[in-house]
Structure 1
Amino acid sequence: MAIIPQMNLFSWTDIEDLGDLERLRLVLDYLPDETLMETLEEKRFKGRDDYPVRAVWNTILAGVVFEHGSMESLRRELSRNGQLRNLCGLKDGKVPPASTYSRFMKKLLKHEEAIEHIFDTLVEQLYELVPDFGRSLAIDGKGVSSFANRYAKNDEPDGRRDTDADFGKKAYKGRKEDGAIWNKVVKWFGYNIHLIVDAVYELPVAYSVTKASEPDINAGHDLVDELEKERPWILEQADTLAGDRGYDDTKLMERLFDDHTIKPVIDIRNMWKDGEETRQLMDKENVTHDFKGTVYCYCPTTGIRREMTNGGFEKDRETLKKRCPAKQYGITCEGAADCPVAKGLRIPLDEDRRVFTPIDRTSYAWVDAYAKRTSVERVNSRLDVSFGFEQHTTRGLKKMGNKTGLALGIMLAIALGRVKEGQPEKMRSLVS
């Protein structure tokens, strides 16, 4: 048989060697939960202390870190894993009964703001330690099904049925290589998790949990409202914010750039309902543009259409510069002498704030910035795969809010621990 070397009863060296427990150690060391612990201990005061508040809390964190889908699964793990019990601080190796966890989780529902404060504190610490943290942001919404699958027949809350969730729907469409149009509709009963993340380090900086029916754009405005009020320094440091078509909204783009000088990098929907491919731009008779902001000029003599090249963004004028393609590419244009845009063209952003953005939609810079939007999708994937959001037993908006706050807080605590322990290259890693 395979002989396993005997380990010491408990030492940090052993914990580091074990690997799986390393993540939990980072969480226990760097999660700023002292205020919450003191509050819960004060509430208990002289009550029975068979299972100390801190020990039970640590086991709950362990359940999140090790992806346990239920308390019973966590209790089984604690029963067979003595080192985990020691690390969590359980006395005499006793595992708390299910009733203890049930009461503890009910108490946590009254301290939603404390869990949000833990998240905010971790974000602030990362901003202080990582100089470029938060420069590139991305935003997205993620649907999460409730453990319930329909509206409750009895809408009176009893702690078990879900009286908060509702139905959400997202429609997707595109065009295949052969030109055929495809459509896909996704429906679910539950909630939406809305995230703003750092697009480079793939870590959350703001979040909210809403009913599934809440539109992404409404939640996006609410997140910006919250940041303006509570943590304006996040908006002050950001250079760009990338989002999909769900955030294609003139008001959002205006407030991002006008109020915070954040360049919106948001995909655009085709809102032209008349079937036009192009429209005349400003008062230039030989210049048109499409709904994505591609600008074309037409030779006054031959009528040949050419795409104008990018000349960058003039911040002081708030205009996009477009250059004559004939001059830029060395092409002969027979009508150059009569062309009103032979010397180039300036397009004010106010011409159409959705179409014309500070980073030109037709530029390589826009493509590169928009590619970072997938960072928020990877954070969403980690919630599903590493934190058990695909298979869970959560019912209720407050419970889902606490579950989300804990998962994101743990994600940040691991990243913070990596940085403070000299492993910044592992900030995004949830494994050892």
Structure 2
Amino acid sequence: MTTQTSLPFSWEQVDSLSDLRRLELVLDALPDTDIMRALSAMRRNGRNEYPVAAMWKALIAGIVFQHESIESLIRELNRNSSLLAVCGFCPVPLQSRTRYETGGAGVIAIDSPPRSPAPGSFNFSRFHTNVVKLEERRGLVSGMIEEMRGELMRLLPDFGENLGYDGKALRSNSTGNRNRKTGKTSDPEADWGKHECSGVDSSGKTWTKIKTWFGYGLHIIADTKYEIPVSFSLTRASVSEIKELDRMTEVLFTKDPEIEQRCRYLSADRGLDGGEFKKKLWEEHQVRPIIDSRELWREEKRGQSYVEGQKIMRPLGRAHDNIFYTECAEVWCRCPVSGEERKMAFCGFESPRETLKFRCPAAVYGLRCKGWEKCHGDAGCKTNGYGRVVRVPLEFDRRIFTPTPRGSVSWRRAYNRRSALERINSRIEGSFRFERHFIRGVAKMSALAVMMALAVGHIKAGRPECMRSLVSGCWADTG
């Protein structure tokens, strides 16, 4: 009988909660003390008609409730008294103001109707501008993300073991056309990006797909088991993904050595395939790269004997005349008598030697090989039952040969977890309206902070000793 182990956190459990309950989880989990104090300091002695704490909660509510515009959020606040109360606004309409005008009959008192308890678009616009400034100058929004990463590592002992990377294109509201007078676009921080991918279809024909957009690139490193983001970066669309991934991993492992020690695998798609980066991951961080291989061997395809879809192999070296390898890190042997080709059996990574070990397929699988004795004799091996052994150093080709080679059981298991990145991207766009959200620029990171806070809050909800009161801390000082 098979028993299913339930994870300490799953998004299915979060999705079943009401909007108000999810908002309460986020507000409880966000480490927002510093940003709240900074926002209060920016207001100084200004009017406190709408408290900083209430405005901040309303901004977070706009993300949790999936509002694409400030006007939509204001309408929600005006019709939802429960949301007003959770945010900290008084649900009773504000007192009417009396203004006095001088006329022919003397001074006339004019009473205006009671005002809505919810802030207006002007109030939210100014508040949002302050949040953007705090992120640009002091990194307070991204600082919350780093704090919650540490909290998740404390709550989940295996958080960070399996990481994955993915890049997402974010289109700008600007068309990308330059103004004839100024020579600038309406979104000067954005630029043009281009993604090109290719492959071979079922009929053996090659295909190419090119995507261009004007805007930004969202780069995400996430835990592929719990589907929770670990690190983010928002750049111009033209920034190279492989360079940004290299920079992000360096910053992440430098700032958080514990997650470097935990991480065993880092997966990415074939667009990030590169020997230098794979070598750096393993030699400097002891992280196994799980990155699909690109088809870069072109010379063989130009030959007249090449057939579309044919497997391309190259000799492994002079010492192995009948041993060949492919771009997919497969090692093949060719029988010196019959010419039959067989895939050699992968038998693991030898860490002290930094080599991949492959054995004779006839010995491993009990097959009959006509050239058994000649193959072993030419290689100077004993013709015992263990069979011929071929060791491939990682240095032979760092792009193709990695500690966990492509196609092995461990590689497939780790690479299959990459589907979590697709679900994360779908959740960011579908549940958090990341691309169409009213929060713009670097402050978009607050939407990703909310995503992490939902996870932290849900885990803590099942552990009362980890919870803090909604009326404690910064909320008591800023309202």
TM over 0.5: yes
> What is the root-mean-square deviation of aligned Cα atoms in Å?
1.9
8 A contact 2:190–2:236 mirrored in 1? yes
Aligned pair partner of 1:201 in 212, 223, 226: 226
Q: Larger radius of gyration, structure 1 or 2?
A: 2
Structure 1 residue 362 corresponds to structure 2 residue 407: yes
8 A contact 2:196–2:209 mirrored in 1? yes
Mapped partners of 1:282, 1:121: distance in 2: 51
- Flag the 1:152–1:387 CA change in 2: closer, same or farther, 3 A: farther
Mapped partners of 1:18, 1:127: distance in 2: 24
Aligned pair partner of 1:319 in 343, 355, 376: 355
Alignment partner, residue 293 of structure 1: 329
Alignment partner, residue 381 of structure 1: 426
Alignment of 1:265-276 (within 5 A): 265-275=290-300
How much does 1:116 deviate? Answer: 0.5
Alignment partner, residue 338 of structure 1: 374
Structure 1 residue 183 corresponds to structure 2 residue 208: yes
What's the CA shift string for 1:201-228, capped at 9, x where partnerless?
0111111000011111011011012113
Structure 1 residue 114 corresponds to structure 2 residue 140: yes
Task: Give the SS at the match of 1:384.
Answer: helix
Aligned pair partner of 2:416 in 357, 371, 374: 371
Mapped partners of 2:33, 2:65: distance in 1: 22
- Flag the 1:156–1:226 CA change in 2: closer, same or farther, 3 A: farther
What's the CA shift string for 1:216-250, capped at 9, x where partnerless?
10110110121133223222210000000121111
8 A contact 1:138–1:243 mirrored in 2? yes
Deviates more, 1:120-129 or 1:226-235: 226-235
Structure 1 residue 406 corresponds to structure 2 residue 446: yes
Task: Give the SS at the match of 2:132.
Answer: helix
TM-score with structure 1 length normalisation?
Answer: 0.89
Query: For this pair of structures, how many residues does the alignment match?
Result: 401
Alignment partner, residue 105 of structure 1: 128
Return the letter of the residue paired with 1:73: S
TM-score with structure 2 length normalisation?
Answer: 0.80
Alignment partner, residue 279 of structure 1: 314
Alignment of 1:219-234 (within 5 A): 219-234=244-259
Aligned pair partner of 2:118 in 75, 95, 98: 95
Structure 1 residue 148 corresponds to structure 2 residue 184: no
Structure 1 residue 47 corresponds to structure 2 residue 70: no
Deviates more, 1:370-379 or 1:197-206: 370-379
- Flag the 1:203–1:18 CA change in 2: closer, same or farther, 3 A: closer
What's the CA shift string for 1:368-410, capped at 9, x where partnerless?
111111211211111110111343456xxxx32211x111111
Mapped partners of 1:264, 1:114: distance in 2: 32
8 A contact 1:310–1:321 mirrored in 2? yes
Mapped partners of 1:243, 1:366: distance in 2: 12
Return the letter of the residue paired with 2:419: T
How much does 1:70 deviate? Answer: 0.7
Task: Give the SS at the match of 1:286.
Answer: strand
How much does 1:152 deviate? Answer: 4.2
Task: Give the SS at the match of 1:91.
Answer: coil
Task: Give the SS at the match of 1:281.
Answer: strand
Return the letter of the residue paired with 1:337: E
Deviates more, 1:319-328 or 1:360-369: 360-369
Alignment partner, residue 428 of structure 1: none
How much does 1:272 deviate? Answer: 1.1
How much does 1:18 deviate? Answer: 7.8
Mapped partners of 2:327, 2:428: distance in 1: 35
8 A contact 1:147–1:392 mirrored in 2? no
What's the CA shift string for 1:26-84, capped at 9, x where partnerless?
01111110111011112222211000111001001000011100101100110100000
Mapped partners of 2:370, 2:85: distance in 1: 83
